[in-house]
Structure formats: C-alpha cells, structure tokens
Amino acid sequence: MKNYIYSILILFLVNSAVFGQAPNWTVSENNFQYTMSFVGFLNSDGNALFNTNDKVAAFVNGQCRGVANLIYVASENRYYAYLTVFSNVNNENVSFKIYDSVKNVVKSVEKTINFSINEHYGNLFQAYSFASPALRSEVEILDLGFKNIVRNDIVISGSQITIYLNKGQNITALNTLFDLSPGASVYIGTVKQTSGVNSLDFTNPINFKVLSENQAIIKQWTIVVKTESENATYYKKDAVCYEGGSIKVLALLEKQEVILSILGVTLSSQIINNGQVIFDNLNEGTYKIRVGGNSKEIKINLKK
C-alpha cells in the first residue's frame, strides 16, 4: 500500500512539474472606460509558441489590464493572441508577460508601450511581437543568386539588387537563393518565399518584401535580372604623372548603359552613343566595367 501511495504521489509531482499551474491573470473590465487592442504572436527563447494554453497579459503598475490565450487561425496556419488592454487614462505605461504552458514558465517582455485610447497594433500579416528575449528588426538581403546558374555579377544599390547573367540565359523560371538578416523572411505580396524552393519569372523586376524577425519592420527590395546582350571591346590608357588614365568601351548596341565602378562603388555611368563610351581622368587602380550582363576588370597602371 505504501509503495502504491508513493507511486501516486510521485506521479502527481511529475505531472505538476510537466503541466504546471497556469498563472491566474484576470482583469475587471467593468472598472475601465477605454481600450486598446493587439493582434500578436508569442515567442519564448527564440521559439514561437503554438499552444492554446499559452497566453499573454498586460499590466500597469503590477495590475492586470488584459489577458489573451493563443487562437489558431486556419487561413494563416498560425497562432495569434487577440489582446484587449483596459485603462481609464491615456499614456499609462503598459508592460507584458507571456506564459509558456509546455515549460510552465512566465517571462517578462522587455518591450513596453504607452496606453493610447482606441489604438490598434498588428494584423495577421504583420503581427505584434510579444517576445522574450526581444526578436531582431533587421531587414537586409545579404546575398542573392540562382540555383545551378552562373552569376556574373551582383550590384546592391540602396534597395535595388541587380543580377547579371550570361547571354541567352532563360530568366522566366529561376530558382532563387537568398541570404537574409537573421530571422527575417521574404514575401512577394503576402506569399512567403522559401530560398531554393521557388520558380520566379524575372522578365520584369520583382518586388521582394523582407519582414523582420519581430515583424515590426518591412523593407521593399527591387530585384532586377539582366543578361549579356552582346560582346563589347575594351581599350585602356594608363595614367601618367600629369594626366589620368582612360577606358574606352566599344559596343554596337546603342543606348546600352555602361557602368564604371571600383571596389564595389559606382563611379560613373554612361549610355553608349555612336558605338562607344569613354571614361577619362582615372587614377591608378582596378576598375570594373559592366555592360548589360557582362562585366570586365581593367587595371589602370601609373606610368612615371
């Protein structure tokens, strides 16, 4: 009998440790005049929470002002917290706590917000982040290319990325590879893209939306793909102590843009006129000339 009682006690203690006791967060809604609301997601230690027993609560000076459990939204295949926060005055500082029901852990959210009457934050695409620790807000595309395709060059200028490919390359169904800021994700419209598992038509520029890990920031990127249109001929004149060097580019295709850069920095661009462009007054150094999808490095030496 003793062994049986001990077994039951141990089982109870184990179950208590595993399932725990959810925090008793409650709010007396009738005591308040005003509300603000959130559509949010919960994240603990870098992991998204997805149990309907997980919850978030809002507090003002330790008093609970709102609580919401996660709800599954089938159209998005995600879990959201629809949180309403109550107050009688504007600008009260509101803090948050989240409860991870699987780990039976309550964690404080570092981010706070001032109460604003009737204000709403977050939506199904860009939900408000209730996370501990805080998630990252970077939205950069660090690199971009295409699976099993040679990339001649890449130019990142502001929020535009231009990729240069070989002449004749089919660009109507490219499997795009991208490297992003940690935790960020790429969307075309509202459709999430997976690196290396897509087929995109770059006949015209495509707009990528990069959403930060905390979903607070969206950055629009324009992706342009160019293919080599024709071969060009290059000539150079080295610099001397009294005169800069020069590079001449000959190409048959009129109105084609020719870009001169050094160390990844664009110095100048010209349009082919009468079959040529000339870049003058160049200092010693290794320059890159880009015409269509083709690029070539040319070194200007200094003659003394």
Q: Give all domains of the chain, ordered by start, each with its CATH number.
A: 2-132 (2.60.40.10), 141-227 (2.60.40.2340), 233-303 (2.60.40.10)
* pLDDT number for residue 230: 61
CB count within 10 Å of CB 22 equals: 14
Judge whether residue 7 has pLDDT over 60. no
Q: Mean pLDDT across the stretch 284-302?
A: 88
User: Higher-confidence residue: 162 or 230?
Assistant: 162
d(CA 63, CA 111): 17
Q: Would the pLDDT of 229 be above 80?
A: no
Tell me the average pLDDT across 93-107: 98
Cα distance between the two ends of the chain? 103
pLDDT score for 20: 52
Res 123 pLDDT > 90? yes
CA 14 to chain centre: 42
Report the pLDDT averaged over residues 92-101: 98
Q: Tell me the sheet residues that pair with 86.
A: 35
Q: Residue 18 pLDDT more than 70?
A: no
For residue 195 the two structure tokens come to 């690196």
Query: Which pLDDT score, from 0 to 100, does residue 256 have?
Result: 78
> Each residue of 35-72: pLDDT tens digit?
999 999 999 999 999 999 999 999 999 999 999 999 99
Q: Looking at residue 131, what is its pLDDT?
A: 98
Residues 6+ apart with CB under 8 A from 225: 162, 163, 165, 171, 174, 202
Cβ-based neighbour number of residue 165 at 10 Å: 24
Q: Do residues 69 and 120 touch, judged by C-beta distance below 8 A? A: no
Contact, 274 vs 284, CB < 8 A? no
Mean pLDDT of all residues in 170-180: 97
Task: Give me the percent of the chain exceeding a pLDDT of 90.
Answer: 76
Residue 164: Cβ-neighbour burial (10 angstroms; 0-12, 13-18, 19+): buried
Q: Which helix (H) or strand (E) holds 57?
A: strand 55-60
Alpha carbon distances (Å) from 273 to 147, 260, 266: 36, 16, 20
CA angle 147, 149, 155 (to 5 degrees): 95
The per-residue pLDDT for range 234-273, each reduced to its tens digit, is 999 999 988 999 999 998 777 778 999 998 888 999 999 8
Query: Which comes out higher in pLDDT, residue 144 or 242?
Result: 144
Band of residue 21 on the pLDDT scale cut at 50, 70, 90: confident
Q: Which two tokens stand for residue 193?
A: 């893209």
Mean pLDDT over each residue of the chain, to the nearest integer:
91
Enter the pTM of the model: 0.76
Residue 27 pLDDT exceeds 50: yes
- DSSP per residue, 197-246: B--B--SS-EEEEEEPTTSS-EEEEEEEEEE--S--EEEEE-EETTB-EE
- Taking the C-alpha atoms of residue 230 and residue 162, their distance in angstroms, rounded to an integer, is 18
Q: Name every residue whose Cβ is closer than 8 Å to that of residue 12 and which is 6 or more positions away in sequence.
A: none
